[in-house]
Structure 1
Amino acid sequence: MPVYKNEKAKGDKKWWFQFYTGEIKNGVRERITKRGFRTKKDAERAMIEAQAALQKGEYIEPTKKLFQDYLQEWIKTKRNLGEQTLELYDSYLRTHIIPALGKIPLFKISAHDIELFLDSLHEKGLAAATIKRIFSVVNAALNAAAMKDIIPKNVANKVEKPQASRRRELVVWDPEFASDFLVKTKQASRHWIAAYLAIMTGMRQGEILGLRWSDIDFENRNITIQQTVTRKRKIKPGAKNKSSVRNIAISPETVEALREHRKLIIQDRWKHKQNYQDNDLVVCTHFGGPVTQRGIQKMWSSFLKKTGAPKITFHDLRHTHASLLIKQGVHIKVISERLGHSSVSITMDTYGHLMPNMQQEAAAGLDALIKTEKAATKNY
């Protein structure tokens, strides 16, 4: 067996193999060589696999490209993904994947490498759902490499896929708490209107940041969602999906809150004049530019600290809006339309547990329709 041991190699990766392919190119017999095996058995096993692949016409010449270089090329091909999804992928690559796996040659990356990587993510304290998404990016990248015959197989398929933990219990505020919170924070930030709109409309954070004055029909008390602001402060036409481009009816008090906030925006326009960027945004900087999502999160953290309120995310205000509608007995289809869900089933899956009394009310209502006790004697 043409398996060799490199006596001069330091460490344990000193076994390698070499065999001739049977082909002659430019007068030279072609051969396949692969190094870096920990044991003789590993080298022999890999050589047998390579010989079998060569015989079947499935052998792929090892590439020297590093995993990080391949990932940068691969991410550029994902043009079909939404802009926010691409931003998330890019964040995972820069923050987690490339620092841990980037320097490994693409052809040498192993299932063990990926398992160690997943362990490191757990040690960082990342949420199970986040680890699952990061693994999905690695898996998709390697799967694409295998399909394009850049590597012989996707080694991630040998790794036990991380499981997302059970969906965390939704934290929602009751009407009294939400009212008190909004009163206490109203003068704390120029962007208070963002929190108010989240509670009163159920809009997503990006939708609130992208809302324009021209999207508000004050007379008919209606908001039209037509654009969003991304994590990179880019104004993007449209919304998360087709269902997210929608109309939302607003209350008379919401109209008044928006009119009061508009006075602040008019003052900014007058004060900064030529330096003002007129994007027509409801939530904007002093100079009219888009507000970063990070800026809203910073404001939100200060609100929680100021009021001593339980720690919840800004996105949880959207859940609070849904719970307030449920308490009023609003039909689930109407709630789904206001939230911009693609189907009522998503709304039910998310908020069905907030409707514990609906079954009891439905059963009790049957008593009003069906009477089994004799009210009078009738002859038939």
Structure 2
Amino acid sequence: MPVYKDENAKKNPWYYQFYTGEIRGGKRERIKKRGFRTKKEAEKAMAEAQAAVNKGEYLEPSKMAFRDYLNDWLKTKRNLGEQTADLYDSYLRTHIVPSLGHIPLAKISALDIELFLDGLHKKGLAAATIKRIFSVVNAALNAAQLKDLVPKNVANKVEKPQASRRRDLIVWEPEFVSSFLLTTYNDSRYWIAIYLAVMTGMRQGEILGIRWSDIDFENKTVHIQQTVTKKRQIKSGAKTKGSVRSVALSPETLEMLREHRKLILSERLKHGADYKNHDLVVCTQFGGPVTSRAIQKVWDSFIKKTNAPKITFHDLRHTHASLLIKQGVHIKVISERLGHSSVSITLDLYGHLMPNMQEEAAAGLDALIKPTATQKR
């Protein structure tokens, strides 16, 4: 077995070398790799390298571009959720590969990563986003180290980006919400999605996944049990177990849904066999799932038309929570409507919208506890 120990090495003395059987430049091609702590580790790594050579898949780490490694690494992350995998893919395509992809995996340095992070700051990316992008690079290099493709993870030498405090939530006041919905009514078939976001606090994917069969008109509830992904795939379940839930609907919301259903039924009759019936409440004119891009296009046009304070579609979820808080709805009920896994998440997000709760609680004690100091005098 061509595994050897370098007696002069102070640490990780074991290495392997073997010939591939190929002739390059008049010489037999040899593969050699150092830096193993034990003989067993070197033997295992060599067996993997030989297997890759036999399959024609072996590439010297020093020659492997970081982009090629990243693509292979992402394919192995089978335990990632669909949304997380999409996010990783987006970071690779838009930020990591364009900046670092050309560098050989074995030659990427801490300075390369520091300059990369500096570039992200100059692009104006949020601190939290930069931190997540760095985490992807760090995880990829950790995996490369574990597979003996690099001797160490150079990202460990880089000062980790710190996420700034959560941005202040921007919410609309009730009067503006009413004006906005009235002004945009009938401007788009997807108006109903925006209306439902305001009136239920559901996430966009949840709204796009609602079926008519999920709505109980008699008991005035909608049961959230499937979503539509950014790739227009209908997926059972929701973001978390707590996200699979029932949300109470107001009488006005039910009336709006009944009106919208008339449109859907007329389109089913119009398109006949061309209509793909997925039973979706928010759908294309041919019954298919709607893309988040289509919703975004409508949302942008509504913001422009109404000169509305610029917020994201997701911020309508925050607006919904603020409307409930203004009504004095219990935080536990708000948490259940939003599908948070715990009340602490809801409090962390919206606690600052409840500045008078302590004062009101203290004042309320006077109405409960008698006699008061004034009465005693």
Shorter-chain TM-score: what band?
0.7 to 0.9
- Written as runs of structure 1 = structure 2, the 5 A alignment for 1:93-132 is 93-132=92-131
Q: 1:275 to 1:22 in 2, by over 3 A?
A: closer
**Residue 309 (structure 2) aligns with:** 310
Give the Cα separation in 2 of the matches to 1:108 and 1:343.
45
Structure 1 unaligned blocks of 5 or more: 1-19, 34-49
The residue that corresponds to 1:72 in the other structure is: 71
- What amino acid is the match of 1:129? A
CA contact (8 A) 1:21 1:32 kept: no
- Displacement of 1:127 in angstroms is 1.7
Letter matched to residue 293 of structure 2: R
Give the aligned residue type for 1:373.
A
- Say if 1:87 and 1:21 are closer, same or farther in 2 by CA, change over 3 A: closer
CA distance in 1, matches of 2:104, 2:16: 27
Counterpart Cα distance in 2 of 1:315 and 1:68: 32
Structure 1, 229-238 or 347-356: larger mean CA deviation: 229-238
The equivalent of 2:135 in structure 1 is 136
**Distance apart, 1:341 and its partner CA:** 0.3
- Say if 2:224 and 2:244, in contact at 8 Å, map to a contact too: yes
CA distance in 1, matches of 2:100, 2:17: 36
Tell whether the 8 Å contact from 2:63 to 2:104 is kept in structure 1 after alignment. Answer: yes
Count residues with an aligned counterpart: 338
| 8 Å Cα contact 1:209-1:229 kept in structure 2 | yes
1:373 corresponding residue in structure 2: 373
Three-state SS of the structure 1 residue aligned to 2:373 is: coil
Which residue is equivalent to 2:243?
Answer: 244
Shift in Å, 1:24: 8.7
Q: RMSD in angstroms over aligned alpha carbons?
A: 2.4
Q: Deviations over 1:21-66 (max 9, x none)?
A: 999978x9x9979xxxxxxxxxxxxxxxx7xx56877889854322
The TM-score, its normalising length taken from structure 2, stands at: 0.84
2:328 aligned residue: 329
- C-alpha displacement of 1:369: 2.9
CA contact (8 A) 1:224 1:245 kept: yes
Query: What residue identity is the alignment partner of 2:250?
Result: S
Identity of counterpart residues, as a percentage? 72
Q: Distance in 1 between matches of 2:37 and 2:227?
A: 55
TM-score normalised per structure 1: 0.84
Q: Deviations over 1:265-307 (max 9, x none)?
A: 1111111111111011111111111111011111001001111
Q: Partner of 2:262 in structure 1?
A: 263
In the alignment, the residues of structure 1 paired with residue 233 and residue 303 of structure 2 have an alpha-carbon distance, to the nearest angstrom, of: 27
In 1: Cα distance, 2:189 partner to 2:215 partner: 19
The alpha-carbon distance between structure 1 residues 361 and 108, as it changes in their structure 2 partners (threshold 3 A), is same
For residue 298 of structure 1, what is the aligned residue in structure 2? 297
CA contact (8 A) 1:21 1:31 kept: no
Partner SS, residue 76 of structure 1: helix
- Stretches of structure 2 lacking an aligned partner (at least 5 in a row): 1-12, 20-27, 46-59
SS in structure 2 at match of 1:193 = helix
1:203-253 deviation digits (Å, cap 9, x = unpaired) = 000101111111100111100001111111111111001000000000000
1:95 corresponds to which letter in structure 2? T
Aligned to 2:10: none
The aligned counterpart of 1:205 is 204
Moved more, 193-202 or 90-99: 90-99
Read off the aligned partner of 1:226 and give its amino acid letter.
Q
Distance 1:219 1:148, change over 3 A: same
Shift in CA distance, 310/297, structure 1 to aligned 2, threshold 3 Å: same
